[in-house]
Amino acid sequence: MVEKDHGRIETRDAVSLSGADCINSLRNASEFANFKTVVKVTAERDIHDEVSVESRYYISSLDSNACQLLHAIRTHWGIENRVHWVLDIAFREDACRIRKGNDAQNFAILRRTALNLLKQETSVKLGIANKRLNAGWDNDYLMKILATLFY
């Protein structure tokens, strides 16, 4: 798989291993339910003639070929990166220093709930960060966002 974007060329190749004998020989294989395939993805990035190579390993419950698994992995991380990017820009999630007990997980749930509410509110054409600011300045707008919880 080759992608060209933002001045870089990224090539990804995948190799998969499956089969009970192969999987059962891996360390701690018994700890993973439905463990069927091991995938190695090698990514080569070329950014302005500077090349870097990175290998990542995945385990999967899918019994698919390497090409299908590469596509599934890429799709998963695309979704994951889009959600985290919005949370970091709109809520500065990466700058959050909450570390005690379950606080970090609780605040992550609250941020995702707020993100979903802000996305559902379509009366104004603003980005998520600006909708959030607007809700902080205007109680009527805040109530309009919160009202979607009860419909």
Q: How many CA atoms lie within 13 A of 41 on its CB side?
A: 24
Q: Answer yes or no: are the C-beta atoms of 115 and 128 closer than 8 Å.
A: yes
pLDDT above 70 covers a percentage of the chain that reads 91
Instruction: Report DSSP state, residue 26.
Output: S
Range of the domain at 27: 1-91
Q: Answer yes or no: are the C-beta atoms of 79 and 39 closer than 8 Å.
A: no
Q: Write down which residue in 41, 60, 91 finishes a domain.
A: 91
In this structure, the answer to whether residues 1 and 48 fall within a common structural domain is yes
For residue 2, list its beta bridge partners: 11
In this structure, the answer to whether residues 77 and 18 fall within a common structural domain is yes
Q: Write down which residue in 76, 91, 106 finishes a domain.
A: 91
Question: What is the overall mean pLDDT for the chain?
Answer: 82
What is the CA angle 114-121-128, rounded to 5? 55
Q: Would you put residue 19 in left (φ > 0), alpha (ψ -120 to 50) or beta?
A: left
Q: In what order do the strands lie in the sheet with 8-18?
A: 2-5, 8-18, 37-47, 50-60
In this structure, the answer to whether residues 86 and 122 fall within a common structural domain is no
In this structure, the answer to whether residues 85 and 139 fall within a common structural domain is no
pLDDT above 90 covers a percentage of the chain that reads 12
Q: Write down which residue in 91, 108, 130 finishes a domain.
A: 91
Total residue count of the chain as it appears in this document: 151
Tally the domains of the chain. 2
**Whole-angstrom distance, CA of residue 91 vs CA of residue 39:** 34
CA proximity to 86, closest of 121, 118, 134, 128: 128
In this structure, the answer to whether residues 6 and 65 fall within a common structural domain is yes
In this structure, the answer to whether residues 105 and 84 fall within a common structural domain is no
pLDDT band for 80, please (50, 70, 90 cuts). low
Over residues 94-101, mean pLDDT: 80
In this structure, the answer to whether residues 62 and 78 fall within a common structural domain is yes
In this structure, the answer to whether residues 1 and 74 fall within a common structural domain is yes
* Amino acid type, 54: E
